[in-house]
Amino acid sequence: MAAMFSLFLVLITLGSGLIWLLDHFYLAPKRQEKLAFADGQTEGELPEEAKEKLVAEPWLVETSKSIFPVIAFVTILRSFLWEPFQIPSGSMMPTLLVGDFILVNKHEYGLRDPVFRHKFWDNELPSRGDVVVFKYPEDPRVDYIKRVIGLPGDKVVYRNKELFIQPKCEAGVEKCPELQRVNTAKVNSGQFKQDGTPLLRLKEDLLGVNHDTLINPRRGEPLRYYYQQPGRTTGEWVVPENHYFVMGDNRDNSTDGRFWGFVPEENLVGKATAIWISFEFERGADSILPGWIPTGVRFNRVGGIQ
């Protein structure tokens, strides 16, 4: 859907721009020639109404000239600077909630054209702990949002709901990093629930990046569904070059890299940087309002994303 909307914006921008140029350099001069010819064939001066009719812009030209500056600005802003996204699921709770509207920095990881996504300008690379929007590797038409856990060359292990990371061994170093357990500390329990089960909220220290996660203490670890990397045991992955390993903060309610593998660098859309508005959609069973109508605004959630 996002890709189709980008294509639509580009086509509307190009179409309205070409019509404006055609009118400026060809159609408008032709209308002036018709006015001059009619004026020369008439004794005295043409009535103002006749002049206005001869030089009047066609509807398509008038509309194109009106929308081109606006649509061009929106296309540039959305394609290369910032793009709004809505959080549709709870896979990134407690960091992001359903109803959060976020801003994604499109130039953080370089710039790509909005249609074919060819990269034409390099910038930064994702860092561990970044919350990123990317094209779902198994269906690039769909945008996903997760947190970067493993960088290229890292070893990631997730067993018994504990996370371990061994950073990439850089060439030329005398001693490679060891496999490190990602430390966690309990924040609370019961603030969030899944199918009636209180979720355990943990503060996670992702090798220097602190953020909160959720764990369902009653749900088993679905090892049989994990992505099996050739030559590795279940629940263990080594991130290939130019790829990233991502997970949702709501660890037991997230379809992420544990189940389908790695995110190629070319699939990155941008870095989620801020929540610009957040709507509540909670309502009672007897509510007559459609589900898409918000029931409130969570102003306390507006701000940066940790």
pLDDT confidence of 136, banded at 50, 70, 90?
A: very high
Q: How far apart are CA 283 and CA 270, in angstroms?
A: 33
Percent of the chain's residues with pLDDT above 70: 94
Domain count along the chain: 2
pTM summary value: 0.82
Same structural domain, 97 and 132? yes
User: Which of 91, 106, 135, 278 does the annotation list as catalytic?
Assistant: 91
Same structural domain, 121 and 259? yes
Same structural domain, 132 and 259? yes
Identify which has the larger pLDDT, 55 or 81.
81
Of 59, 81, 103, the domain-final residue: 81
- Per-residue model confidence as pLDDT tens digits over 223-248: 999 999 999 999 999 999 999 999 99
Q: How far apart are CA 222 and CA 158, in angstroms?
A: 11
CATH code of residue 254: 2.10.109.10
Tokens for 237? 């992955």
Farthest CA pair distance, the chain? 97
Q: In this structure, how many other beta carbons lie within 10 angstroms of the beta carbon of residue 99?
A: 21
- Per-residue model confidence as pLDDT tens digits over 155-181: 999 999 999 999 998 887 888 899 999
Q: In this structure, how many other beta carbons lie within 10 angstroms of the beta carbon of residue 258?
A: 23
Of 35, 62, 81, the domain-final residue: 81
Contact predicate 166/155, CB 8 Å: yes
- Average pLDDT of the residues in 196-225: 94
- Average pLDDT of the residues in 185-214: 93
Domain that holds residue 232: 87-304
Q: How far apart are CA 247 and CA 91, in angstroms?
A: 9
Q: Active-site residue 30, yes or no?
A: no
Identify which has the larger pLDDT, 30 or 263.
263
Q: How far apart are CA 98 and CA 172, in angstroms?
A: 46
Same structural domain, 123 and 268? yes
Same structural domain, 133 and 62? no
- Average pLDDT of the residues in 75-95: 88
- Average pLDDT of the residues in 193-198: 88
Mean pLDDT score across all residues of the chain: 89
pLDDT confidence of 44, banded at 50, 70, 90?
A: low
Answer whether residue 125 shows pLDDT above 90: yes
Q: Active-site residue 193, yes or no?
A: no
Same structural domain, 169 and 293? yes
- Per-residue model confidence as pLDDT tens digits over 18-40: 998 998 888 888 888 887 777 66
Same structural domain, 73 and 91? no
- Average pLDDT of the residues in 69-98: 88
What pLDDT does 61 receive?
A: 86
Same structural domain, 91 and 45? no
Same structural domain, 76 and 92? no
What pLDDT does 160 receive?
A: 92
Same structural domain, 166 and 224? yes
Q: How far apart are CA 172 and CA 187, in angstroms?
A: 40
User: Which of 135, 146, 155, 271 does the annotation list as catalytic?
Assistant: 146
Contact predicate 71/14, CB 8 Å: no
What pLDDT does 12 receive?
A: 87
Same structural domain, 152 and 70? no
